[in-house]
A and B are shown apart, each in its own frame.
Chain A
């Protein structure tokens, strides 16, 4: 009797396993009605307003209606992203779109993708890997964003530039690019000085505390160069508290980055002076490359900088994120 039960159970189990294999095979063999299967590996959309806009843009472009079968994976950790890439390769996607959390460690998985005939497109972030391992990389030129802002600042022709420089998370590409441009200029010009240079790690409260510390020490300054909008906002909160005027034609020039809608509205109101764009809308570029092929390896997106004296309401709705 016992033997019989055992036999029945084991045969059922074997049957189920066989069925499972069949199911797998069926899944692997069938391509869904000519849809292009893309695996998208991105950073956590909660990371920043930039990432939220970026994720929204990707989700709006890579849809069934546009001929895609998208799979999304989010992580801020490089190794988790690499593991997800391996899973996508096993799932046999057609394209792998990656916004890498870190720059290194990707060689192995990109080679696997190449062997499997999967095309890789990098967006937003570059990685340290041989160029023939990916189709194209669509990036922002952070250094150029910084240069645009710095040359705008230089065009203001102040007799003296005394700058509070609030940096992002040290070592992030946005921080390196945006700090680099300012550091070069300060080193080159005699009348440009840094009053305070400190990282607020993208946090507005920390930026507020840093600015507060400068105000408390009684040093004079006339420029706030914050590497994103939130930190600029924090710095401005400290200025407001101390009754220091800021904005167009006022005592302190305020510079932010990323073009959040609320930040552009501050520009329109004349409370800030300049905001540099960091274009989060890569999806259309990627779509173009998938459908028409890559024309060059590195695609640098067009990015604007807005001056409070020339910005329009349309700019706010069009470029605000």
Chain B
């Protein structure tokens, strides 16, 4: 039963071609990252300084721009995982993730808010687990709602998720009667900041766990193959025995779980919530991360690693702009300019053109060589 499938042993050239494809796709976010790194090196090399200092909690923690980037980029990286799957399977994007994060965060605070700060760690852990499970279930249900609109009613993903995009923040506010919640128990802040005694920010661990889980899922299940098949041609994948509706629904549910994790981290960072602005515009950044990873936004093949690196590139860009003290009124414009540059670079058309150029060059060189002989 568990013998390795023979189909993996396909022709060598085909495999190498695939590898090459994967690599070229990774090059784009890496080039973008390199560009930002060089820019910062050129402007101020101290950007890369990392220090180990005592925090207000009395423990040593790592600090520095690079730490801030991997810390603050965690939510985006987690979202990019789900968004990549949705993009691949449904050929569209979920624009409701920001609103859904507001809902998830609001649910967590609803459970936690009444607790007295004096309860024991064990009791708090039970409440936290309950809050987390509840917000995962709720977010997965909202994901399923979006997913069923897309899968069963064949509504375009952007239109289907527009509903939750519009209503989500109101729902989040309604869950807590529009109260301004602020949790005073410092233990709740561990998940968005630091665990006592550990110098690396907790969100980094959480995102690492998410990445490992998705890597294992993609390695040991057929999720990658199925969602790519559905994204490339839903009807032919159905003829081959895959249920496209279920795969689409599943991708939205997975995104829902990612959203729940993000919501939990977000509210833990400041131990409070502002319904209207929490995770503001994060859907755009998440979609951008997928695009920056060189993935086709029209669905089909995807490269998860590239998307995740894309997410960190975006966070790198944000931090760089803060560091460079770009004026407030111009910051969006600067971001837009860089993004346009990166996106054009990663557009399949440009990539194909560059590839053709390279091939032509090689061909002409070969021709010259031949003629020379």
Contact = CB atoms under 8 A, between A and B. Distances in A.
A binds B: yes
Contact of B269 (A196, A237, A243, A261): A237
Nearest to A207: B270
Contact of B274 (A48, A209, A240): A48
A52 interface: yes
A205 B101 CA distance: 13
A198 B194 contact: no
B301 interface: no
Contact of A46 (B178, B194, B269): B178
B65 A234 contact: no
Contacts of A212: 68, 72
Q: Chain B contact residues: over half helix, strand or loop, or mixed? A: mixed
A21 interface: no
B274 A202 contact: yes
B280 A234 contact: no
A145 interface: no
B276 A46 contact: yes
Interface in A193-230: 196-199, 201-206, 208-210, 212-213, 215-218, 230
B266 A261 contact: no
Given A198-B322, A209-B319, A213-B319, A233 B328 contact: no
A234 B267 CA distance: 11
A206 B53 CA distance: 23
B180 A261 contact: yes
Given A209-B319, A216-B64, A230 B274 contact: yes
A242 interface: yes
A195 B61 CA distance: 24
B188 interface: no
Given A48-B276, A198-B331, A234 B270 contact: yes
A170 B328 contact: yes
A203 B102 CA distance: 13
Contacts, number: 115
Contacts of B280: 201, 203, 206
B270 A167 contact: no
A74 to B, nearest CB: 10
Nearest to B323: A213
B65 A241 contact: no
A84 B319 CA distance: 41
B182 interface: yes
A218 B64 CA distance: 9
Given A47-B276, A205-B269, A213-B319, A241 B194 contact: yes
B50 to A, nearest CB: 9
B218 to A, nearest CB: 30
A262 interface: yes
A260 interface: yes
A234 B269 CA distance: 9
A209 B192 CA distance: 13
Interface string B47-66: 10100011110000101110
A82 B272 CA distance: 34
Interface residues of A, number: 40
Contact of A203 (B172, B274, B325): B274
B193 interface: yes
A45 interface: yes
Nearest to A167: B328
Interface in A241-259: 241-243
A210 B64 CA distance: 13
Contacts of A49: 180
B114 to A, nearest CB: 15
A250 to B, nearest CB: 11
B286 interface: no
Given A45-B178, A209-B72, A241 B270 contact: no
B319 A199 contact: no
Contacts of B193: 237, 241
B274 A52 contact: no
B63 A215 contact: yes
Contacts of B266: 205
B118 interface: no
A241 B61 contact: yes
B204 interface: no
24 contacts: A52-B178, A196-B322, A196-B325, A197-B325, A198-B322, A198-B326, A202-B277, A203-B278, A204-B272, A204-B277, A205-B266, A205-B270, A208-B269, A209-B68, A209-B72, A213-B323, A215-B63, A217-B47, A217-B65, A217-B323, A233-B182, A233-B272, A242-B53, A243-B56
Interface of B: 44, 46-47, 49, 53-56, 61, 63-65, 67-68, 72, 169-170, 172-173, 178, 180, 182, 193-194, 266, 269-270, 272, 274-280, 318-319, 322-323, 325-329, 331
Given A44-B170, A237-B269, 5 more contacts: A46-B275, A196-B325, A201-B280, A204-B274, A241-B193
